[in-house]
C-alpha cells in the first residue's frame, strides 16, 4: 500500500483531489482507499471507506463547551486513540493507494503534536508521501498577474511541511483552470526556475523572499512542483508519476 496525505491551506482542494485522484487511479486499473481525517467536515465529495467521524464526534465536543477551534484541536488530538482501528479498516480496503484527506485548516493537523505518531500508526511502515496543494487563487493578483510574495510564502510553507514530516513530498499548484494564459506563463517560468522570482521582487521584503527561495533551492528543494486542476483533470497523470518516483526514490520516514 502507498499512503498519500493531502495537505494544504483551507480550500486548497484536498477533499476534491481525494475524490478526483481516487477516480483517476480507478480509471487506470488501480484501487484507492479514501480516508477522511477531518472530524468536523459536514459533507464530502466522495465516499470515505474509512472515516474518522465514525469515532470522533466533533459536535459533541463543541456542545461540551469548547469553542469551534478548541473542539477542532481536541478532536484531531483524539484521532490518535483510534489509530489502530483506522489502520485495520485501511488494511481491509485491500487497495494499492490510500488517499488521506486531512482537516480543512492545515495548522490544526500538520502542527499538532500527535500528528507524526498518527501518521506512523496509520502508515504502519508502508511507503508514504505528502502532497502539498497550493491554491492558485491565492497566487492571483490584479492586472492578470501573479503575486510573487504569495507564491514565495506558500513555497516556504511547503518547506515547513518538508521539515515537519521529513517524507517524500510532491507540491501541486492546484485549480490552475482559474488562471489566465498570462498567469500560467508567469507560473511556468517560476516553476522552471524558482530563483527567477528574484526578478519580480525588490526592496527589503524582496531580500528575505529571495534568500528563502535560494535556501530552498540550494538545499535540494522541497520535491517536485506540478500544476493540477480537479476541473479539467490536468496534471493528475503527472501527479501519479511524481508519486511513483517519490515512492521508489528511496527516501524513508525519519
Cβ proximity to ligand GDP: between 17 and 98 the closer is: 17
Rounded to the nearest whole angstrom, what is the least distance from the CB of residue 114 to ligand GDP in the complex?
Answer: 20
| Residue 13 binding: pick among Mg ion, ligand GDP, none (C-beta 5-8 Å cut-off by kind) | ligand GDP
By the rule CB under 5 A, 229 interacts with Mg ion = no
Dihedral of alpha carbons 7, 12, 15, 17, sign: negative
By the rule CB under 5 A, 18 interacts with Mg ion = no
Cβ proximity to ligand GDP: between 146 and 210 the closer is: 146
Rounded to the nearest whole angstrom, what is the least distance from the CB of residue 251 to ligand GDP in the complex?
Answer: 25
Q: Which long-range contacts (CB under 8 A, 24 or more apart) does 237-241 make?
A: 237/24, 239/21, 239/131, 239/170, 239/172, 240/21, 240/24, 240/25, 240/28
Cβ proximity to Mg ion: between 7 and 146 the closer is: 7
Rounded to the nearest whole angstrom, what is the least distance from the CB of residue 104 to Mg ion in the complex?
Answer: 5
H-type helices in 102-166, by residue range?
106-110, 115-123, 136-139, 148-165
Rounded to the nearest whole angstrom, what is the least distance from the CB of residue 110 to ligand GDP in the complex?
Answer: 13
Cβ proximity to Mg ion: between 37 and 159 the closer is: 37
CA atoms in the 13 A half-sphere facing the CB of 192: 7
Parallel, antiparallel or unpaired: strands 127-135 and 145-146: unpaired
By the rule CB under 5 A, 15 interacts with Mg ion = yes
- 113, 230 contact by CB (below 8 A): no
Amino acid at each position: 500500500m502507498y499512503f498519500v496525505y493531502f495537505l494544504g491551506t483551507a480550500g486548497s482542494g484536498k477533499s476534491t483531489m481525494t475524490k478526483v485522484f481516487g477516480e483517476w487511479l480507478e480509471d487506470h486499473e488501480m484501487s484507492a482507499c479514501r480516508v477522511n481525517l477531518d472530524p468536523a467536515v459536514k459533507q464530502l465529495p466522495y465516499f470515505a471507506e474509512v472515516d474518522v467521524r465514525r469515532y470522533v464526534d466533533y459536535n459533541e465536543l463543541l456542545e461540551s463547551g469548547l469553542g469551534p477551534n478548541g473542539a477542532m484541536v481536541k478532536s484531531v488530538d483524539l484521532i490518535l486513540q483510534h489509530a489502530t482501528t483506522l489502520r485495520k479498516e485501511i488494511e481491509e480496503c485491500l487497495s494499492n493507494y490510500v488517499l488521506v484527506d486531512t482537516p480543512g485548516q492545515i495548522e490544526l493537523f500538520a502542527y499538532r503534536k500527535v500528528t507524526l505518531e498518527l501518521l506512523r500508526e496509520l502508515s504502519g511502515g508502508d511507503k508514504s508521501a505528502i502532497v502539498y496543494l497550493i491554491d492558485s487563487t491565492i497566487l492571483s493578483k490584479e492586472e492578470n498577474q501573479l503575486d510573487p510574495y504569495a507564491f514565495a510564502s506558500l513555497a516556504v510553507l511547503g518547506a515547513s511541511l518538508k521539515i515537519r514530516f521529513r517524507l517524500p513530498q510532491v507540491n501541486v499548484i492546484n485549480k490552475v483552470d482559474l488562471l489566465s494564459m498570462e498567469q500560467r506563463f508567469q507560473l511556468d517560468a517560476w516553476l522552471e526556475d524558482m530563483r527567477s522570482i528574484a526578478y519580480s521582487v525588490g526592496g527589503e521584503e524582496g531580500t528575505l523572499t529571495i534568500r528563502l527561495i535560494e535556501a530552498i533551492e540550494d538545499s535540494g528543494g522541497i520535491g517536485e512542483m506540478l500544476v493540477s486542476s480537479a476541473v479539467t483533470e490536468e496534471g493528475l497523470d503527472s501527479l501519479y508519476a511524481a508519486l511513483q518516483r517519490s515512492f521508489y526514490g528511496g527516501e524513508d520516514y525519519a
